[in-house]
Amino acid sequence: MVKIGYLGPRGTFTKLAVDTAFNGEDKQSFTTIPECIDAVHDEQVDIGVVPLENAIEGTVQLTVDYLVHQVRLPIIAEIVVPIQQHLLVAREFSSDLSEVTDVYSHSHAIAQCHQFLHKYMPDAKLYFTSSTGKAAEMVSNSGEKIAAIGNRLAASEYGLTIYQENIHDYPNNHTRFAVLAKDKQIVQISHETQAEKTSLLITLPSDYAGALYQVLAAFAWRKMNLSKIESRPMKTGLGNYFFIVDVNQPYDDVLFPGVKAELEALGCNVTILGTYPVHQMQL
Ligand SMILES: O=C(O)C(=O)Cc1ccccc1
């Protein structure tokens, strides 16, 4: 049976994404994003699912950096899931919000609720955990006066009360999850596909005027539509960046090799991180 690793523990958004996209497979949780990616690399699991980008807070840097610098695995599908954040407290909690001293959650979940926290819980201390599920687990273990930000599944998995629903600051909150696997054939997501994308990693030659403009021109004159471009530090020194570019079309044998050759002639390095279907889920 196909084995799927995901960012756990129980009750994370990643688990919700996995449960929606796959059924019946053997599922194993990992405490951190790097552990989950390593497990795919070491073949403890066949597929790994990790968060990639949130509509409010942006890229999950740990995922991108680990994939770029540490363990290269192809992205073979993307799952997009709507996100609703709730404030979770222990069952025995009977006070009001001003009594909550500490709030735990994944940094992205806290960032999605900053205005709520600022307005209604200005004195609470904020603590980052490896996932929202981990935060819910901590609240269930230590009882009163602390809260977690997480989803409905976490509330039921850990026996918590939803003190306040939908505390995220903006509607239309979605997260993209990357499905990673060495073998593309193994992945069966029966859900309808809306689009196909290709993600590229591009490093520019040492700084010169108009370099990025020339890179973008290679896509522009081929009429290749980009849905995302983001720079990240190379980690080799201040001012050195690589670019992640998402192209709104599947890989093909004409346009992509053309872009690659053109960019390499400029001194760029081009790596394909994946060409994959996008599955938009309703929970
Ligand atoms: O912590 C989780 O539950 C995750 O799966 C990562 C995450 C955190 C916040 C929003 C979406 C995904």
Going by pLDDT thresholds of 50, 70 and 90, the confidence category of residue 198 is very high
CA 76 – CA 127 distance, rounded (Å): 33
Confidence at residue 207, expressed as pLDDT on a 0 to 100 scale? 73
The 10s digit of each residue's pLDDT in 212-238 is 999 999 999 999 999 999 999 888 888
Domains, the chain, in order of start with CATH, read: 3-83+173-183 (3.40.190.10), 86-164 (3.40.190.10), 196-276 (3.30.70.260)
In angstroms, what is the span from residue 133 Cα to ligand 1's centroid? 8
Bridge partner list, 91: none
Residue nearest to atom 12 of ligand 1 (CA): 13
Is the CB of residue 276 less than 8 Å from the CB of residue 194?
Answer: no
Confidence at residue 214, expressed as pLDDT on a 0 to 100 scale? 94
Rg (C-alpha) for the chain, rounded Å, is 20
* CA–CA distances in Å: residue 261 to residues 2, 86, 214, 271: 37, 48, 13, 12
Cβ of residue 134 lying under 6 Å from some atom of ligand 1: no
Instruction: Give the β-pairing of 146-150 and 86-90.
Output: antiparallel
Instruction: List, as one string, the DSSP characters of 247-264.
Output: ESS---SSHHHHHHHHHH
Going by pLDDT thresholds of 50, 70 and 90, the confidence category of residue 241 is confident
In angstroms, what is the span from residue 272 Cα to ligand 1's centroid? 26
In angstroms, what is the span from residue 167 Cα to ligand 1's centroid? 15
* CA–CA distances in Å: residue 204 to residues 32, 83, 207: 31, 35, 8
Cβ of residue 13 lying under 6 Å from some atom of ligand 1: yes
Cβ of residue 83 lying under 6 Å from some atom of ligand 1: yes
According to DSSP H, which parts of 143-240 are helical?
152-157, 211-220
The 10s digit of each residue's pLDDT in 89-133 is 999 998 899 999 999 999 999 999 999 999 999 999 999 999 999
Residue nearest to atom 9 of ligand 1 (CA): 109
Of ligand 1's atoms, which has the minimum distance to the CA of residue 154? 3
Would the pTM count as exceeding 0.90?
yes
The stretch 196-211 carries a mean pLDDT of 90
Cβ of residue 173 lying under 6 Å from some atom of ligand 1: no
The b/e string for 76-107 (b: 16+ C-beta within 10 A; e otherwise) is: bbbbbbbbbbbbbbbeebeeeeeebebbbbbb
In angstroms, what is the span from residue 186 Cα to ligand 1's centroid? 25
